[in-house]
Structure 1
Amino acid sequence: MITIIDYGAGNLKNVKHAFGRLGVQAEIRSDPDTLKQSRALILPGVGAFKDAMDTLSRLNLVEPIKEHADKGKPLLGICLGYQLLYEKSFEDGEWDGLGILKGEVVPFAHDLKVPHMGWNQLIKNPNRSDPMMKNIGDEEYVYFVHSYFVKPKQEDETLFFTKYGIPFSSASRKEHVIGMQFHPEKSSETGMKLLKNFVELIP
């Protein structure tokens, strides 16, 4: 079973619908036992980093997510869910994340309008070749809504960059753990191709 983690961070039905368009059944659940039994987890999210981590802790979902990753099962973080995969965020303070991936979540420069919202381009990391990049042309457009961005400690984990003031990591992969700063479920054909690539990684 593919499980979309429900921790009150919204946009769950759109994610479920996107998988449904691929002919893939994904269930929206918030109980730890279901997460432990899942073949793949989707961690979506819109909102504040600290509030999201507090809710994951309150629902006893932090350890099941970490255990899932430790077992080498596919995990996809979307938007805020991507940021939560990392060690730390500096959104309105300094907060610990899940620490599954190494790096930090930092604000855009003060002279840039935030949130970074709307359509922007994916730029392939020239040093990466990965099944998640299959059928994605250079500079295809995807849809963003975010005020902070991820700085991975290992730049070679980045699949795609996007330019907003500076190039930032808009999608990453380390083994079975994948993150997308944009919303694939709102990104038309390109988003569907990326979700299909993720589905094909699930054993």
Structure 2
Amino acid sequence: MLLTAVLGVLLAGAGAAHASAPVCRPASTGTPDVVCAVPAEFDNRPVESIEWTKDDDPLPRFDDIRQILVSCEPGQTLVIGLTLRLADDLNPSVGDTRITCPSPPPTVTAFNCSAYGTVTAPFRCDFHWSGGTDPEQVTVSTNGGQGPVTTYPGQNYARVTGSCFPYQITSVTATVTDAAGRRASATRNGFCPRGNN
């Protein structure tokens, strides 16, 4: 796994606490990367040194760096450790954080709609996506008549049903939103029988 410094700033001061669990979050880069940083409450006291570990293995090349970027595989669980030596404390402040590397954001892989019949023809759309962090939710908007949305999260698939409106272009937009609030959408139109569009 590659670890790279992000915003590599040497720490001149940190705050008061006896435990220094790092603050870790998804990197918001569209990858499973995780950003870990020195906790904000260490901003008012002088720090002599910062040491990082990953799964109890030292990361000496990132000593004295306030924030690091950890690359990992989706779903992998890591324990990121942090040791702060404060200038006015005899004992170092030590803590760790367990974090699971997120899946990539959701991406629409297919969205197909078809209709049959005449006038107010029923339609069906099949919506597929990849990535995302469970649980995922699918929402639909349409200017046609909307039927039920059946979601199969384990398969990253949802079925949308509804009906065409006569003499207009019926449009359907499906959006998948994952547990981290990341979204992907797709729109289809022009699939209703002739005379409806």
TM-score (structure 2 length as normaliser): 0.18
From the two aligned structures, give the one with the greater strand fraction. 2
TM-score (structure 1 length as normaliser): 0.18
From the two aligned structures, give the one with the greater helix fraction. 1
Query: Which structure is larger by alpha-carbon Rg, 1 or 2?
Result: 2
